[in-house]
A and B are shown apart, each in its own frame.
Chain A
Amino acid sequence: MPRFTLHRFWAIVLKEFIQMKRDRVTFAMMVGIPLMQLMLFGFAINADPKHLPTAIRAADQGPFARTFVAALRNSDYFNLTREAATEEETRELLQLGDVQFVINIPADFSRRILRGERPTVLIEADASDPAATGPAIAAARTIAATAFTRDLPGPLARLRGTESPVAFSLHAQYNPENITQYNVVPGLMGVVLTMTMVVITALAITRERERGTMENLLATPVRPFEVMVGKILPYIAVGYIQVTLILIAARFIFGVPMVGNLALVYAVALLFIAANLSVGITFSTLAQNQLQAVQMAFFFFLPSILLSGFMFPFRGMPEWAQWVGSCLPNTHFLRIVRGILLKGNGPLEIAPEIWPLLLFLVVAMTIGVKRYRQTLD
């Protein structure tokens, strides 16, 4: 008796497709979730916030100070809403969340610029959301470097361009990895696939058990591997629909540059989708009912979103979190997709991230097949 037969495998595949077709709500959700998440992460959650409320505490009213403040006002990032006179006042503004930044211009600002002494501007930032402050602070540096071009004539022209005439001191924890839509949208692919693929297959076998169809399936000669692979294949097709939706949105809505080879993205996505589906099927064999299966799926989904480098820069996490993150397929998939799309990485560059995905797939699949009981014992 052969271990695997195509006809039994195909029977499962067709059955799953028909059931998917009948369950329109679930199918709509699988298409709707990527779109909804794209809107949320792409538009609503702006990792490059602008027009942040800012207070100025200017101890110097000289021409350079005024030029600098005007330049800040003209930038998109700072919305100069307040003027503070004392240190207590600035502290209170920040504490109450009235402003995101306080920019302190020292008393001898203009004089020291003229002397070429690079006066220090202190930026106090509300760092409760580091992702929000980062881009604005970077913008401040740029503003300082270019604002005085006009005001530095003649012999002072040596201060132009070469080095910023102003130094910055920060009272904020700044994360060096810059999060933008370019980064978020490709990363979203891994998150959406993890969420929908794991949940949908986590239900696959528990549903059969709850509806009583499992007893029938077990009474037939169908093998565990045939059931597993047969249940996975239809959802690979769904996964590809999601990948395509996200790629289209990334390109045409968010204008994400696509430097690399899209065929390579699809090839790697196959591996990643299969890995997530195997996890789902494995949960499915462990869970007693559908509710448990969904809970397990979310248990897997949370670290996949938090520790994979999607939400927070991977290198900014503590070592143990990085270690956990490295075990998750999403971590590797994010790097691969970002690498291909943004940096134009080829097969050679992504190879170090491929084998962890493969390993994960094999392990998850093995546990799933082993856990699938062929009898009711």
Chain B
Amino acid sequence: MSAPNFVIDVTGITKRFGPKTVVDAVGLQVKRGEIYGFLGPNGSGKTTFIRMLCGLLTPDAGTGTCLGYDVLTQQAEIKCHVGYMTQKFSYYEDLTIRENLDFIARIYDVPDRATAVQHSLDRLGLANRSHQLAGQLSGGWKQRLALAACLIHSPQLLLLDEPTAGVDPKARREFWDEIHQLAADGLTVLITTHYMDEAERCHRLAYLAYGKLLTHGTLEEVMHSIPIFTWTVSGPDLRPLAARLRGQPGVEQVVAFGNILHVSGRDAAQLEATIARLREPRHEWRQIQSGLEDLFISLMDTARDNFA
């Protein structure tokens, strides 16, 4: 058994599909009540890792527990206490919202099923749509239904695989408010996302690329795990400037944000030297705090150099 305060406690988790190692010796500790953000480029192994946590895939190597149950042998027990929201909507489109919830509640043998279904409809604001077929719902409502369905058996751990992909900003914010409320009530949440604003709403973060865990910790810790320096430049003729900057020593990223450029690199001295060399009076240069996105793109580039 793991320490009781760790809901997920795994080490060395590895999964291979044929010759390809999709998840490579990943270890992760998640405390109760924590919202843990899982980031990484497409195909980095996030979904595969989550599937191993909830018993859908068996790891090829590694050990650990999920909710105190062994991830290798006690998959059936894990399934009873985990709510898993798949990347693609995976409820029955030819069933109504209520019928879908009722089906899931029956599968988990939820006590006092009718009340539980009604409660979950009310809480997620689905009550007056309960007789609508799931297939006719818009993306945002499908996501609400999926969340309601994976919460109906009062799981202790919620695994959410890109829950907010294709959902509008308002619905996303409401979704995150809901997640924070659930976490405050003691639910542990592991969530994958590509949105940096969402990453910043997590208690802790992990960054996965090419199946490897590159960094993890709180937002602060992650931000300081790799030194990265960013300058902004504004003024006329930014496009030719961007072209000149790319490939210069110390310059790793040149990204246009509207009328300014972000120029980032890990070697502060080299970066500053390059900027000094290319500096013109008509451009205004300013050093700023690097963002999470700058950091992750830098991490990904490094990872590609090392592993790919």
Interface residues of A (CB under 8 A from B): 1, 5, 7-8, 10-11, 14-15, 18-19, 22-23, 211-216, 218-222, 374-377
Contact = CB atoms under 8 A, between A and B. Distances in A.
A1 B82 CA distance: 16
Interface stretch (B84-92, B176-184, B294-302): B84-92
A11 B79 contact: no
7 contacts: A5-B109, A8-B109, A15-B99, A219-B86, A374-B75, A376-B51, A377-B58
Contacts of B54: 219
A10 B106 contact: yes
A66 B75 CA distance: 88
B57 interface: yes
Given A14-B106, A216-B86, A222-B107, A376 B76 contact: no
A215 B90 contact: yes
B251 to A, nearest CB: 43
Contact of B89 (A212, A222, A377): A212
Contacts of A11: 103, 106-107
Given A1-B76, A219-B82, A221-B76, A375 B56 contact: yes
Contacts of A10: 106
B109 A219 contact: no
A15 B79 contact: no
Contacts of B104: 220
B245 interface: no
Interface of B: 51, 54-58, 75-77, 79-80, 82, 84, 86, 88-95, 99, 102-104, 106-109, 133
Given A10-B106, A222-B107, A15 B76 contact: no
B57 A220 contact: no
Contacts of A1: 76-77
Contact of B90 (A14, A216, A375, A377): A216
A376 B95 contact: no
A366 B107 CA distance: 23
Given A215-B86, A221-B76, A14 B103 contact: yes
Given A212-B86, A375-B56, A221 B108 contact: yes
Closest 3 CB pairs of A and B: A11-B106, A216-B90, A219-B84
Nearest to A374: B75
B94 A19 contact: yes
A23 B133 CA distance: 13
Contacts of A19: 92, 94-95
Given A15-B95, A215-B86, A221-B76, 15 more contacts: A11-B103, A14-B102, A14-B106, A15-B103, A19-B95, A22-B95, A211-B93, A219-B55, A219-B84, A220-B104, A220-B108, A221-B80, A221-B107, A222-B107, A374-B75
Given A8-B109, A219-B79, A18 B56 contact: no
B114 to A, nearest CB: 14
B150 to A, nearest CB: 9
Nearest to B83: A219
Nearest to A6: B109
B308 to A, nearest CB: 25
Contacts of B94: 18-19, 22-23
Nearest to A219: B84
B265 to A, nearest CB: 41
Contacts of A23: 94
Contacts of B109: 5, 7-8
B92 A376 contact: no
B103 A376 contact: no
Contacts of A376: 51, 56-57
Contact of B75 (A8, A14, A213, A375): A375
Nearest to B113: A7
B2 to A, nearest CB: 21
A218 B55 CA distance: 9
A7 B89 contact: no
Contacts of B80: 221
A15 B56 CA distance: 22
Contacts of A7: 106-107, 109
A205 to B, nearest CB: 14
Contacts of B77: 1
Contacts of B79: 219-221
Given A219-B84, A221-B108, A15 B51 contact: no
Contacts of B89: 212
Contacts of B88: 212, 215
Contacts of A220: 79, 104, 107-108
A218 B57 CA distance: 10
Contacts of A221: 76, 79-80, 107-108
Given A1-B76, A18-B95, A212-B89, A219 B56 contact: yes
A10 B106 CA distance: 8
Contacts of A5: 109
A347 to B, nearest CB: 38
Contacts of B90: 211-216
Contacts of B133: 22
A158 B47 CA distance: 95
Nearest to A226: B107
B92 A213 contact: yes
A144 B133 CA distance: 71
A107 to B, nearest CB: 77
Nearest to A22: B94
**Interface hub of A214, A221, A375 (most chain B Cβ within 10 A):** A221
A215 B84 CA distance: 10
Contacts of B103: 11, 14-15
A216 B53 CA distance: 14
